[in-house]
Structure 1
Amino acid sequence: MTDIRRPRILCVSFSDIRSDARVLRQLDVLARHGDVTTLSYGDRPDAAVDHIEIDRSLPSLPQTIPGVLKLALRRYRSVAMDAPAVRAARLALQGRSFDIVVANEARALPLASLVQGSPRVWCDLHEWAPAERSHVLSWRLLIAPFMDWVCREYLPGIAASTTVNESIADLYADRFGVRPEVVRNAIAYRADLSPSPLADDRIRLVHSGGAVPGRNIEAIIDAVDRLGDGYTLDLFLIPSRHADQYWRSLTERIASSPRTTLHAAVAPEELPQTLNPFDLGVYLLPPHTPNHRLMLPNKFFDFVQARLGFVFGPSVETDRLITTHGLGVITDGYAPEDLVRAIRGLSRAEIRGFKARTDAAAEALSSSTDVATEEALLVRLLEAR
């Protein structure tokens, strides 16, 4: 009898997928091709038919003394399965088999290689794995060499890989001899939105994303306070899972700013509508790591579909898109005074022009190209099966 069951797809992400916009978009594509089981922190995403929840308290990298010692001694084959979250995931997967495994980020590759059923593995690397947190000394000394080993060990043998932009794809090709396909962080085209009119009495700045140390959110708050009357800043922030002290200090700083308002985070699919009433999307990320220098973040595409003008700090990929499409201005640096100077130099007519050009570019900068890449990739994997 012909086997007519739907393909079984395992999606692994050591994040809370329900608040991970990139993986949520990926799941929408996966669910069109098979029955998806997710393995992650947090609750089951809507697109999954089954879910394996990893305890939020379990880290996805080795943190015990034996695990750290193995990292220091470069005993990577032994340490690859030592992280508490990975051990728990491996145990939970016993007796389950899959046709395709999607490993989100390189850290999920060792686990993906052990899944039963001889699945085809697609690794969505997201960004440049060896430098995810290279501004942190312990990461640079212990984790970066391990991530380099993971990429060398596993990437050549998997069926497919993807990453967020051409610059980072070049890094993988140069270092590991494997060129990932590009799937940006773009979101669906919002034909129902158009640029909102400017308010009579103020320019409305907005920033959304994770409240993570190093994101330089404080500099944006300082800048709006220096800009004075006629400018406001609204923040839609997701608290970090591991930075309670930072969140407390940040909320105290926000409370002391007369022009800044903190809002609860909204679901990724709601962001364009929520951000649409504002004027300028602001992001000022210093290049602490190669991923920062080569960033093309979710918020860039959220701001596009919200039809905002852009004020961004310098970065290779965002500079190119902002300049090509005339979406906004690029600051000279990453300090509050750089942001103040860039915004004070803008007339209301220029801001209206940025919003109009973002509107004109919104369809070209939507996810249609990226979805087509993922669809074609999955078809190839399923045909090979």
Structure 2
Amino acid sequence: MRTRVGADSRIVEVVREAAPQVLSTLMSRYRQFEACEDAVQEALLAATLQWPEQGIPDNPRAWLTTVATRRLADQWHSDQARRRREATAVALGAPTERIAPAPDEGPPDRDDSLMLLFLCCHPDLTPASQMALTLRAFGGLTTAEIARALLTPEATVAQRISRAKQRIRSAGIQYPLSGEQYTSRLQVVLHVLYLIFNEGYASTSGPDLVRGELTREAIRLARTVHRLLPHDGEVSGLLALMLLTDARSPARTAPDGTLIPLAEQDRSRWNQRGIEEGVALITRALGSGGPVGQYQLQAAIAAVHAEAPRPQDTDWRQILALYELLEKTSSNPMITLSRAVTVAMVRGPEEGLALLAPLDSDKRMRDHHRFHAVRGHLLEMTGDLSAARDSYQAAERLTTSVPEQRYLARRTALLGGSTSR
């Protein structure tokens, strides 16, 4: 029996949920990533063509697995025939290569799905390629959808995916991983999902501050990993961080798309269901007694913000303590920027500015708009409006995000200066 559907959105949802599971199944049997991924993509195409008319099968995953396996077998037989023709032509009689199934032909288990995700986030790949391949193979997005989501030309995304597959093929598929490899690879996986979410939540370029298609996909993928590893504290922490951060999205932009900073947001518009789920996740993770990592600490900070009904109710001292722990766990300049703001709220803006001073010698930070925006904010708190305007103008010149440009231009205008654009 099939379920009739009246809209393509349901098909897209089912296909994306099933795609990584189907690819995991084929990978567990054949261990040839590129061939399996191509076969799954053909099966997905067949589904999008047939299901609108025939309805979604009762077991979509089994349907897709069967079609993908047939496509793979067809390709295997075609390759065999070609090799036989070539062998006959040169009278070599060489044996043809065969795709050998793995001993286990059963359904995919947790490790199969993780193997697929670990492959997409292979450490030999660049972060851009990891993101593209994860969205393609594990997320089920088409190349065109990935290009739109990442604001990257489709040809560039296609090249990245192609090179990533070639890199994986040349590096070989190593599985199962050793304990140390497993831990390090999982950190890469979480980092890639974190990058995908951040690009959606605070787009680095373009007309929109938030790109919901990316944040939703990152959360969906994080939920998948959490189902696979429900007791891993950092996996729980990352999902909690995404939920708590995304909960603020409805209040982050004005009607014209301009950024609204946290202190000025209408908190009644925050997604309370997302906040409740995120707080519950991070509470359980921190109470489990396991090691505490950067995503748990960031989620804890987001939870403190989320639980304050008004900006003035924020427990800045607790946030500062969490940032101090976070810097010890994963020190980087962006964390220092956030800690500087927190120090300013607890001890005064002068101490916050003192924390920023060493970053002025870091070229990466001098070229980053957020450094100048934070310094402008702290200078404004001290009453040095002229210096604050200069910093806001520098930030406006450096950012490629239109909503952030509008916000920074507004800050400059409110301080009595002209914008830099």
- TM normalised by structure 1 equals 0.28
Please identify the structure whose Cα radius of gyration is greater.
2
Q: Which has the higher helix share?
A: 2
